[in-house]
Structure 1
């Protein structure tokens, strides 16, 4: 556990006593971290109120019995899922006679998407109401850590009446709300839950009669495990061991509430967003293990006490007792079975012995693991050799198994970081009011405390010539001596020196330079030449260096990579070096100074004559711009297909049997670890082939093993993503009729008879997969449209893109896609490569 220092947190504004009425200005969908400012202007008056979370609010479970759907929040920038809510500054439910009216107004705001004209129509006495009931199902009082006063979160169950109403159409997505099937929620098919209340309230409201609950969470409960002089239990012991004071607990309680509210728990999505402030990257694979370790109740979400005890456990100086030992066991028990299998135990042994973690020491790790397992004792459960938690705790307690004390510790006190962040926040408080437009602009993230970043000065200045090429690089004067302090910054300088700006000797820069020089002499399709055919020793050194760096980069990428726009999406390359270098001249000639992100959808090899050169170029591009370039795996990045087609033959033809076989194998070892899919802005799903039948959520995709030498055998999910194709409804029905299958029973998937593997998927399957994951569109490659692109389905929610012109002698064009969230546009770009041949 070695996270870098956290970024500073953001300003939280004080709350005054002004009490505005509920209005359209109070509704913003899901905005954890609080609606810190609300302002409403009427025709005659303007009222303003500043708030800080927590704040009084109304939460709504809006259910449509006709379609069995429920309304959820719909943020613009991330697919976070929670209940829609409105804010209302009520000081006391008992004293406020109109709180029910406010709840009705809140429902109207949500159902009409703040459309005042439609609200007026629906409020008319002779007009049928769009819902049968608006019943309070929970009153939750939360003690504010800033003021010690209680705020109220009221939850209402709203059932639409389902009557025919020309003025109101149910289950219509709008700017702030979308509708999803109840069964998807109750069966846990919905990803990225911000808090578990969505499912809890829905289950509660499905029961008849609906019972009202009254709950309260106070500072007194937050202090429940505050350590006494003589600890009463193991929980108090761990807090005392971490030297936590009442003030530390109060600060964490404040931080926790501000992060989660209106939810009062942390799901995994909320947890990893929270841990970003401690320097963790959202993609850090350790976060899933940490969440499991924190969640000792094993219910899928964290309470405040679980977070408190978890953070105390990983403090640098916490005593290594039974609580920490069980925490470490949960950390490595990723399967949450309660027993460590040998793969999980091997990961623990590797972390305990970092000097043995290289591939050359695999035998040493295996020997150490067997010795340690014998020291602890193993059992056979369901045919597998495992280590139980009790045996693990006992072996450490009896000193039969040593070395675990260093595991799962932060290098710095996280509570000290929280304390400093709170002090900085207090200094930045302001009573300045803002208008509604500025509030909406300010709160574009899910959690502002977690979103705020501190910019870091680049290590070098560069000089560009008129063609955009780098001709001079210089380190910024005195930067190293005066400002650099952390190992991360020193590593950044070394990376810049070694890779990005060393145009003469670094492997990726040299590789790109050699490929550019090779291009005019590459030969023809009938007589192709190979890069460095006459200097195979140099080529092998460069390829080895590239593959080593690629391995390190890919070890930290998710199976489904999150990418932000602006982003260029590029389809199949298939060894077309001409088109690839044309893209370079048009889109990224200033390597490594590229402004946009680049996503390649796979199929870099086979069919074309320069597959070796294309995949080496893209690997070098990825190394030079690791956070800007993402390479997905295509179905041709698989050995069995390359043997059948041309990539292996190309390697052997250009470099001989021995060297060609080595080049083919080492590049395929990189292909084995490439990500399987990506999302852009949390809205667009991207893959080489399509969506998987075997998985409903992105979490399941992220659980695909990192290394897949034989994806067909090792991961049905990955194989289906690589090979599947979209199919229009009429064609889908015709195929079903041909095979005497009722298309209603297929769930939108049918065996892909054209490919001989994987599936055809129709619009129904696509819509369901996208909805499950808070997505709206998908982009894929895998097929060759004549114009370079093709839209599928009625609303064009699926787009095929192909980026290799004249594929196999065909007269197709080269195209790519630009995603620009700022302009909210998906733009098709065709490159003028058609007439170059």
Structure 2
């Protein structure tokens, strides 16, 4: 059972900016709003920077001055539908593993878990700068749950995606799922804010989650994914394929006798549209990418603590980096509460930790929600 509440906005913390890699040191002003506004979709159907800035100031003001049930007066279901449909069409066309190749004059900002902390996201934009032609953003999943403004956070990021689809990239986290959102607060948040239209809005969000890519490769040398590494799914002849060679079919062996690291090619072919367990067959790779954790113990093993995904040691990090000529892995997925239970790993006081240092590079855990969790599961 989960408990949802609209809490007083936490004071934005400098650790929100620390919880992002490659932040700018030149803060930009965030527009301030003094009364309620109703957002409308542009007549020409195209978003621009003025519309985004208006969205930011409106969400910021309404989160501090209106009860949750008044949210439709700010963003109607009609505007919500148009935004999420437009964004979903873009996201569903993107590959499982994005290739992001900025030029030498560009900056890439990678952001970890946000968990509904709208005000820290706004603060982060103020510190790092808005997305632009020479500033890319990669968001590493977990936009909702555990915080009071998951809907506003997710919709703001979708608006940026629609406005700058080749500069803003939204990866999926394990909380972008039906199971997590029904347990950790997002479903109840949506129902509270949209009332009798809440189920419709929630279903549309779930449909959008299905389209979120799983990982990215930045500049050919940085792998980003919410949980981390994943297993190989070797192709083996199916039991029904005995007989003539021309009738033989290949199927995925969902229970390999031993675990081995998967390849980027396997990742590109994984089925990402399934939101929840059971993670098996074609769904095992997405389950690993979203739920796995680093370990100080060598090798790959089932992640028994979570009941899903893998634990991967520094030798796996080295093998993955070396095999694909990478220098850095950036993953998220673990906040301060998780790290308190993991002896040998650094905490999240600075917004990130360096977990593995190997010959070919490093593995970093990045977390961008400094006031996490804003509300607890009972």
Question: So what's the TM-score if we normalise by structure 1?
Answer: 0.33
1:666 counterpart (204, 218, 226): 204
The answer to whether residue 135 in structure 2 is matched with residue 596 in structure 1 is yes
Partner of 2:138: helix, strand, or coil?
A: strand
- Map of 1:622 onto structure 2: 161
| Alpha-carbon offset, residue 698 of structure 1 | 0.9
Q: 1:754 to 1:689 in 2, by over 3 A?
A: same
Do the aligned residues in 2 keep the contact of 1:684 with 1:776 (CA within 8 Å)?
A: yes
- Map of 1:122 onto structure 2: none
- Map of 1:726 onto structure 2: 294
- Map of 1:778 onto structure 2: 329
Q: 1:522 to 1:750 in 2, by over 3 A?
A: same
- Map of 2:263 onto structure 1: 697
> For 1:104-138, what per-residue CA distance to the aligned partner results, in whole angstroms no more than 9, with x for missing partners?
xxxxxxxxxxxxxxxxxxxxxxxxxxxxxxxxxxx
Q: 1:557 to 1:518 in 2, by over 3 A?
A: closer
- Map of 1:792 onto structure 2: 355
- Map of 2:48 onto structure 1: 501
- Map of 1:17 onto structure 2: none
- Map of 2:284 onto structure 1: 716
2:92 counterpart (555, 560, 564): 555
The answer to whether residue 306 in structure 2 is matched with residue 755 in structure 1 is yes
Do the aligned residues in 1 keep the contact of 2:332 with 2:366 (CA within 8 Å)?
A: yes
**Residues 443-592 of structure 1 aligned to structure 2 (within 5 Å):** 498-501=45-48, 503=50, 509=51, 513-523=54-64, 529-530=67-68, 533-535=71-73, 539-565=76-102, 566-589=107-130
d(CA) in 2 for partners of 1:717 and 1:556? 19
d(CA) in 2 for partners of 1:571 and 1:531? 29
Do the aligned residues in 1 keep the contact of 2:272 with 2:283 (CA within 8 Å)?
A: no
d(CA) in 2 for partners of 1:614 and 1:532? 17
Do the aligned residues in 1 keep the contact of 2:84 with 2:205 (CA within 8 Å)?
A: yes
| Alpha-carbon offset, residue 534 of structure 1 | 4.7
Equivalent pairs, count = 290
d(CA) in 2 for partners of 1:601 and 1:809? 19
d(CA) in 1 for partners of 2:287 and 2:125? 30
d(CA) in 2 for partners of 1:582 and 1:671? 25
> For 1:557-601, what per-residue CA distance to the aligned partner results, in whole angstroms no more than 9, with x for missing partners?
110001124211000000001101111222234x6x452110000
| Alpha-carbon offset, residue 771 of structure 1 | 2.1
Q: 1:497 to 1:659 in 2, by over 3 A?
A: closer
1:609 counterpart (148, 162, 169): 148
> For 1:452-493, what per-residue CA distance to the aligned partner results, in whole angstroms no more than 9, with x for missing partners?
xxxxxxxxxxxxxx9598xxxxxxxxxxxxxxxxxxxxxxxx
| Alpha-carbon offset, residue 521 of structure 1 | 4.0
Do the aligned residues in 1 keep the contact of 2:117 with 2:147 (CA within 8 Å)?
A: yes
d(CA) in 2 for partners of 1:776 and 1:500? 36
Do the aligned residues in 2 keep the contact of 1:788 with 1:802 (CA within 8 Å)?
A: yes
d(CA) in 2 for partners of 1:521 and 1:612? 13
d(CA) in 1 for partners of 2:212 and 2:181? 16
Partner of 2:320: helix, strand, or coil?
A: helix
| Alpha-carbon offset, residue 715 of structure 1 | 1.1
Larger RCO (alpha carbons 8 Å, 6+ apart): 2
The farther-off stretch of 764-773 and 660-669 is 764-773
Partner of 1:690: helix, strand, or coil?
A: coil
Do the aligned residues in 2 keep the contact of 1:518 with 1:531 (CA within 8 Å)?
A: no
d(CA) in 1 for partners of 2:373 and 2:272? 32
| Alpha-carbon offset, residue 517 of structure 1 | 2.1
Question: So what's the TM-score if we normalise by structure 2?
Answer: 0.70
Q: 1:676 to 1:654 in 2, by over 3 A?
A: same
Do the aligned residues in 2 keep the contact of 1:515 with 1:531 (CA within 8 Å)?
A: no
d(CA) in 2 for partners of 1:752 and 1:706? 20
d(CA) in 2 for partners of 1:544 and 1:809? 28
Q: Which residues of structure 2 form unaligned runs of 5+? A: 1-27, 32-41, 234-261, 336-347
Do the aligned residues in 2 keep the contact of 1:727 with 1:761 (CA within 8 Å)?
A: yes
2:189 counterpart (621, 627, 650): 650
Do the aligned residues in 1 keep the contact of 2:317 with 2:356 (CA within 8 Å)?
A: no
Q: 1:763 to 1:531 in 2, by over 3 A?
A: farther
Partner of 2:166: helix, strand, or coil?
A: coil
Do the aligned residues in 2 keep the contact of 1:588 with 1:594 (CA within 8 Å)?
A: no
Do the aligned residues in 1 keep the contact of 2:29 with 2:126 (CA within 8 Å)?
A: no
- Map of 1:634 onto structure 2: 173
d(CA) in 2 for partners of 1:567 and 1:532? 36
- Map of 2:342 onto structure 1: none
Name the Cα RMSD after superposition: 2.7
> For 1:308-343, what per-residue CA distance to the aligned partner results, in whole angstroms no more than 9, with x for missing partners?
xxxxxxxxxxxxxxxxxxxxxxxxxxxxxxxxxxxx
d(CA) in 1 for partners of 2:185 and 2:29? 36
d(CA) in 1 for partners of 2:159 and 2:374? 28
Q: 1:757 to 1:501 in 2, by over 3 A?
A: closer
d(CA) in 1 for partners of 2:84 and 2:212? 12
d(CA) in 2 for partners of 1:516 and 1:762? 44
- Map of 1:29 onto structure 2: none
**Residues 16-35 of structure 1 aligned to structure 2 (within 5 Å):** none
1:680 counterpart (218, 224, 240): 218
d(CA) in 2 for partners of 1:774 and 1:496? 47
Q: Which residues of structure 1 form unaligned runs of 5+? A: 1-465, 470-494, 504-508, 733-742, 811-837
Do the aligned residues in 1 keep the contact of 2:70 with 2:193 (CA within 8 Å)?
A: no
Do the aligned residues in 1 keep the contact of 2:30 with 2:57 (CA within 8 Å)?
A: no
d(CA) in 1 for partners of 2:174 and 2:189? 18
| Alpha-carbon offset, residue 706 of structure 1 | 5.1
Partner of 2:71: helix, strand, or coil?
A: coil
Do the aligned residues in 2 keep the contact of 1:691 with 1:721 (CA within 8 Å)?
A: yes
